[in-house]
Structure 1
Amino acid sequence: MMSSPHHRIHRRSDFQRTLSLGVRTRTRDLDVHRLTPAQRWPDRSRSELALGGGPWLGMIVSKKVGNSVVRHRVARRIRAAFASAILPSEAQAYYVVRARPSSALRSSNELADQLRKALAPR
Protein backbone atom coordinates (compact mmCIF):
# COMPACT_ATOMS: atom_id res chain seq x y z
CA MET A 1 0.00 0.00 0.00
CA MET A 2 2.61 2.54 1.04
CA SER A 3 5.77 2.20 -0.98
CA SER A 4 5.89 5.67 -2.47
CA PRO A 5 8.62 8.05 -1.30
CA HIS A 6 5.96 10.75 -1.41
CA HIS A 7 4.40 9.21 1.70
CA ARG A 8 7.46 9.54 3.87
CA ILE A 9 7.88 12.11 6.59
CA HIS A 10 10.76 14.44 5.74
CA ARG A 11 10.17 17.64 7.69
CA ARG A 12 11.62 17.99 11.16
CA SER A 13 8.43 19.65 12.41
CA ASP A 14 6.35 16.61 11.36
CA PHE A 15 8.76 14.27 13.16
CA GLN A 16 8.69 16.41 16.30
CA ARG A 17 4.91 16.75 16.29
CA THR A 18 4.42 13.01 15.84
CA LEU A 19 6.94 12.15 18.54
CA SER A 20 5.55 14.63 21.06
CA LEU A 21 1.78 14.36 20.43
CA GLY A 22 1.47 10.83 19.06
CA VAL A 23 0.64 7.70 21.00
CA ARG A 24 3.72 5.55 21.57
CA THR A 25 3.74 1.77 21.46
CA ARG A 26 6.89 -0.11 22.40
CA THR A 27 7.99 -3.54 21.36
CA ARG A 28 11.24 -5.32 22.08
CA ASP A 29 13.09 -3.69 19.17
CA LEU A 30 10.85 -0.84 17.93
CA ASP A 31 9.12 2.26 19.24
CA VAL A 32 6.13 3.25 17.12
CA HIS A 33 4.53 6.70 17.44
CA ARG A 34 1.09 7.17 15.82
CA LEU A 35 -0.47 10.58 15.25
CA THR A 36 -4.02 10.56 13.92
CA PRO A 37 -5.53 13.46 11.95
CA ALA A 38 -7.76 14.35 14.90
CA GLN A 39 -4.67 14.74 17.10
CA ARG A 40 -2.78 16.62 14.41
CA TRP A 41 -5.58 19.06 13.52
CA PRO A 42 -8.11 19.08 16.37
CA ASP A 43 -9.96 22.09 14.96
CA ARG A 44 -10.78 20.55 11.53
CA SER A 45 -13.86 18.58 10.56
CA ARG A 46 -13.73 14.93 9.45
CA SER A 47 -14.41 15.86 5.82
CA GLU A 48 -11.41 18.19 5.73
CA LEU A 49 -9.19 15.50 7.29
CA ALA A 50 -10.20 12.91 4.70
CA LEU A 51 -8.49 14.87 1.91
CA GLY A 52 -4.93 14.42 3.20
CA GLY A 53 -3.70 11.14 1.73
CA GLY A 54 -1.25 8.88 3.44
CA PRO A 55 -0.29 6.96 5.50
CA TRP A 56 2.88 8.84 6.28
CA LEU A 57 5.98 7.04 7.59
CA GLY A 58 9.10 8.42 9.19
CA MET A 59 11.95 6.31 10.51
CA ILE A 60 14.69 6.91 13.02
CA VAL A 61 17.55 4.44 12.69
CA SER A 62 20.51 5.83 14.59
CA LYS A 63 24.17 4.93 14.34
CA LYS A 64 23.74 2.84 17.48
CA VAL A 65 21.96 0.28 15.29
CA GLY A 66 25.09 -0.30 13.19
CA ASN A 67 27.02 0.95 10.20
CA SER A 68 25.27 2.34 7.13
CA VAL A 69 24.76 -1.06 5.53
CA VAL A 70 23.06 -2.41 8.66
CA ARG A 71 20.96 0.75 9.16
CA HIS A 72 19.71 0.69 5.57
CA ARG A 73 18.88 -3.02 5.84
CA VAL A 74 16.83 -2.36 8.98
CA ALA A 75 15.08 0.60 7.31
CA ARG A 76 14.17 -1.52 4.25
CA ARG A 77 12.78 -4.24 6.48
CA ILE A 78 10.70 -1.75 8.44
CA ARG A 79 9.35 -0.14 5.24
CA ALA A 80 8.35 -3.53 3.82
CA ALA A 81 6.72 -4.60 7.07
CA PHE A 82 4.87 -1.30 7.35
CA ALA A 83 3.49 -1.59 3.82
CA SER A 84 1.98 -4.98 4.60
CA ALA A 85 0.82 -4.21 8.16
CA ILE A 86 -0.90 -0.84 7.78
CA LEU A 87 -4.70 -0.88 8.05
CA PRO A 88 -6.83 1.08 5.56
CA SER A 89 -8.70 2.68 8.48
CA GLU A 90 -5.43 4.27 9.67
CA ALA A 91 -4.42 5.54 6.23
CA GLN A 92 -4.53 9.21 7.23
CA ALA A 93 -2.21 8.86 10.23
CA TYR A 94 1.44 9.81 10.67
CA TYR A 95 3.81 7.13 11.98
CA VAL A 96 7.37 7.42 13.24
CA VAL A 97 9.20 4.15 13.85
CA ARG A 98 12.35 4.28 15.96
CA ALA A 99 14.59 1.22 15.64
CA ARG A 100 16.48 0.19 18.74
CA PRO A 101 20.01 -1.21 18.42
CA SER A 102 18.74 -4.78 18.93
CA SER A 103 16.61 -4.47 15.76
CA ALA A 104 19.73 -5.20 13.66
CA LEU A 105 19.80 -8.71 15.11
CA ARG A 106 16.21 -9.55 14.16
CA SER A 107 14.94 -11.16 10.98
CA SER A 108 12.47 -9.49 8.65
CA ASN A 109 9.67 -11.70 9.97
CA GLU A 110 10.42 -10.81 13.60
CA LEU A 111 10.42 -7.09 12.82
CA ALA A 112 7.19 -7.46 10.82
CA ASP A 113 5.51 -9.29 13.73
CA GLN A 114 6.58 -6.58 16.16
CA LEU A 115 5.36 -3.83 13.84
CA ARG A 116 1.99 -5.56 13.32
CA LYS A 117 1.62 -5.85 17.08
CA ALA A 118 2.43 -2.18 17.57
CA LEU A 119 0.02 -1.07 14.81
CA ALA A 120 -2.86 -3.24 16.02
CA PRO A 121 -5.89 -1.17 17.07
CA ARG A 122 -6.20 -0.70 20.81
Structure 2
Amino acid sequence: MVAAQHRISSGSDFTRALKHGARVTTRDLIVHVARPGTFPVDLTSMDLSGGPGPRDDVATSGGPRLGLIVSKAVGNAVTRHRVARRLRAAFREVTVLIPAETLVVVRARPSADGPNSVTLAGQLRSALEHRRVRALLTESQPVARPAETVVP
Protein backbone atom coordinates (compact mmCIF):
# COMPACT_ATOMS: atom_id res chain seq x y z
CA MET A 1 0.00 0.00 0.00
CA VAL A 2 1.27 3.44 -0.91
CA ALA A 3 0.98 5.84 2.04
CA ALA A 4 -1.87 8.32 1.74
CA GLN A 5 0.44 11.35 1.78
CA HIS A 6 2.26 9.93 -1.26
CA ARG A 7 -0.85 9.62 -3.42
CA ILE A 8 -2.02 12.21 -5.87
CA SER A 9 -5.54 13.11 -4.83
CA SER A 10 -6.16 16.58 -6.24
CA GLY A 11 -7.42 17.00 -9.75
CA SER A 12 -5.01 19.85 -10.40
CA ASP A 13 -2.01 17.58 -9.74
CA PHE A 14 -3.43 14.97 -12.13
CA THR A 15 -3.96 17.66 -14.76
CA ARG A 16 -0.43 19.05 -14.33
CA ALA A 17 1.14 15.62 -14.70
CA LEU A 18 -1.00 14.71 -17.71
CA LYS A 19 -0.53 18.02 -19.56
CA HIS A 20 3.04 18.98 -18.67
CA GLY A 21 4.75 15.66 -17.95
CA ALA A 22 6.69 13.23 -20.07
CA ARG A 23 4.47 10.45 -21.43
CA VAL A 24 5.65 6.91 -22.10
CA THR A 25 3.40 4.16 -23.42
CA THR A 26 3.95 0.45 -22.82
CA ARG A 27 1.81 -2.49 -23.87
CA ASP A 28 -0.57 -2.20 -20.89
CA LEU A 29 0.24 1.19 -19.30
CA ILE A 30 0.53 4.87 -20.11
CA VAL A 31 2.88 6.58 -17.66
CA HIS A 32 3.04 10.37 -17.17
CA VAL A 33 5.93 11.77 -15.11
CA ALA A 34 6.27 15.43 -14.07
CA ARG A 35 8.59 17.35 -11.77
CA PRO A 36 7.28 20.39 -9.86
CA GLY A 37 9.67 22.78 -11.63
CA THR A 38 8.71 21.63 -15.13
CA PHE A 39 5.19 23.05 -15.40
CA PRO A 40 3.87 26.58 -15.07
CA VAL A 41 2.46 27.61 -11.70
CA ASP A 42 -1.04 29.03 -11.68
CA LEU A 43 -0.86 31.79 -9.09
CA THR A 44 -4.61 32.36 -9.21
CA SER A 45 -5.27 28.90 -7.77
CA MET A 46 -3.05 29.46 -4.73
CA ASP A 47 -5.44 30.44 -1.99
CA LEU A 48 -4.05 30.76 1.52
CA SER A 49 -7.49 30.26 3.05
CA GLY A 50 -7.51 26.53 2.34
CA GLY A 51 -9.04 26.61 -1.12
CA PRO A 52 -7.44 25.18 -4.27
CA GLY A 53 -3.68 25.25 -4.37
CA PRO A 54 -0.94 23.74 -2.23
CA ARG A 55 -2.32 21.40 0.42
CA ASP A 56 -0.96 21.02 3.93
CA ASP A 57 -1.99 17.37 4.31
CA VAL A 58 -0.03 16.16 1.30
CA ALA A 59 3.68 15.40 1.35
CA THR A 60 5.71 17.79 -0.74
CA SER A 61 8.98 15.99 -0.08
CA GLY A 62 10.16 12.62 1.02
CA GLY A 63 9.15 10.64 -2.00
CA PRO A 64 7.37 10.57 -5.33
CA ARG A 65 3.59 10.84 -5.51
CA LEU A 66 1.48 8.30 -7.39
CA GLY A 67 -1.85 8.71 -9.13
CA LEU A 68 -3.76 5.87 -10.79
CA ILE A 69 -6.33 6.00 -13.56
CA VAL A 70 -8.11 2.68 -14.01
CA SER A 71 -11.24 3.16 -16.08
CA LYS A 72 -14.24 0.91 -16.58
CA ALA A 73 -12.72 -0.18 -19.89
CA VAL A 74 -10.31 -2.34 -17.85
CA GLY A 75 -13.17 -4.36 -16.36
CA ASN A 76 -15.64 -4.53 -13.51
CA ALA A 77 -14.91 -3.15 -10.02
CA VAL A 78 -13.15 -6.30 -8.83
CA THR A 79 -10.87 -6.29 -11.88
CA ARG A 80 -10.12 -2.57 -11.57
CA HIS A 81 -9.19 -2.89 -7.90
CA ARG A 82 -6.96 -5.88 -8.65
CA VAL A 83 -5.13 -3.90 -11.34
CA ALA A 84 -4.79 -0.90 -9.00
CA ARG A 85 -3.32 -3.11 -6.24
CA ARG A 86 -0.83 -4.58 -8.71
CA LEU A 87 0.18 -1.11 -9.90
CA ARG A 88 0.66 0.18 -6.35
CA ALA A 89 2.85 -2.84 -5.55
CA ALA A 90 4.85 -2.25 -8.73
CA PHE A 91 5.27 1.43 -7.83
CA ARG A 92 6.71 0.53 -4.41
CA GLU A 93 9.40 -1.53 -6.16
CA VAL A 94 10.49 1.29 -8.48
CA THR A 95 10.41 4.28 -6.14
CA VAL A 96 14.21 4.16 -5.93
CA LEU A 97 14.32 5.20 -9.61
CA ILE A 98 12.27 8.35 -9.02
CA PRO A 99 13.47 11.51 -7.24
CA ALA A 100 11.39 12.99 -4.44
CA GLU A 101 8.56 15.40 -5.28
CA THR A 102 7.95 13.74 -8.65
CA LEU A 103 4.37 13.25 -9.84
CA VAL A 104 3.73 9.90 -11.50
CA VAL A 105 0.34 9.14 -13.05
CA VAL A 106 -0.22 5.62 -14.35
CA ARG A 107 -3.16 5.02 -16.68
CA ALA A 108 -4.08 1.36 -17.10
CA ARG A 109 -5.03 0.38 -20.62
CA PRO A 110 -7.89 -2.12 -21.17
CA SER A 111 -5.37 -4.95 -21.54
CA ALA A 112 -3.84 -4.30 -18.08
CA ASP A 113 -5.80 -7.10 -16.41
CA GLY A 114 -4.06 -9.78 -18.46
CA PRO A 115 -0.46 -9.63 -17.22
CA ASN A 116 0.58 -10.58 -13.71
CA SER A 117 2.15 -8.26 -11.13
CA VAL A 118 5.72 -9.02 -12.20
CA THR A 119 4.98 -8.11 -15.82
CA LEU A 120 3.26 -4.85 -14.84
CA ALA A 121 6.20 -3.97 -12.58
CA GLY A 122 8.58 -4.61 -15.49
CA GLN A 123 6.53 -2.37 -17.77
CA LEU A 124 6.47 0.39 -15.16
CA ARG A 125 10.22 0.09 -14.62
CA SER A 126 10.93 0.26 -18.37
CA ALA A 127 8.67 3.32 -18.70
CA LEU A 128 10.50 5.10 -15.87
CA GLU A 129 13.87 4.23 -17.42
CA HIS A 130 12.81 5.59 -20.82
CA ARG A 131 14.98 8.36 -22.23
CA ARG A 132 12.16 10.95 -22.17
CA VAL A 133 11.55 10.40 -18.47
CA ARG A 134 15.27 10.32 -17.66
CA ALA A 135 15.79 13.59 -19.56
CA LEU A 136 12.92 15.25 -17.67
CA LEU A 137 14.18 14.08 -14.30
CA THR A 138 17.78 15.15 -14.91
CA GLU A 139 16.93 18.53 -16.48
CA SER A 140 14.96 19.72 -13.46
CA GLN A 141 17.62 18.76 -10.94
CA PRO A 142 20.34 21.27 -10.11
CA VAL A 143 23.60 20.59 -11.86
CA ALA A 144 26.62 20.34 -9.58
CA ARG A 145 29.55 22.28 -10.96
CA PRO A 146 33.08 21.38 -10.01
CA ALA A 147 34.88 23.87 -7.83
CA GLU A 148 37.06 26.24 -9.76
CA THR A 149 40.73 25.96 -8.99
CA VAL A 150 42.85 29.06 -8.90
CA VAL A 151 46.24 28.59 -10.47
CA PRO A 152 48.86 30.98 -8.99
Pick the TM interval, shorter chain. Answer: 0.7 to 0.9
Once the two structures are superposed, residues 56-113 of structure 1 have per-residue CA deviations (whole angstroms, 9 ceiling, x without a partner) of 1000000000000000000000000001112265222001000001001111111000
Q: Which ranges in structure 1 are unaligned for 5 or more consecutive residues?
A: 43-50
Determine which structure has more spread, i.e. the larger CA radius of gyration.
2
Structure with the larger helix share: 1
- How many angstroms does 1:37 deviate by? 2.3
How many pairs are equivalent? 113
- What's 1:5 paired with? 4
Q: SS of 1:86's equivalent?
A: helix
Structure in which a larger fraction of residues adopt strand:
1
Paired-residue identity, %: 51
In structure 1, the partner of 2:24 is 25
Shift in alpha-carbon separation, 1:91–1:32, aligned structure 2, 3 A: same
Unaligned stretches of 5+ residues in structure 2:
42-58, 132-152
Spell out structure 1 runs of 4+ moving beyond 6 A: none
Indicate conservation of the 8 Å contact 1:32/1:97, yes or no.
yes
Query: Alpha carbon RMSD of aligned pairs, Å?
Result: 1.9
Instruction: State the TM-score, normalized to the length of structure 2.
Output: 0.69
> Do the aligned partners of residues 41 and 83 (structure 1) sit closer, same or farther apart at CA in structure 2, a change above 3 Å counting?
farther
Name the residue aligned to 1:62.
Answer: 71
**Residue equivalent to 2:87:** 78
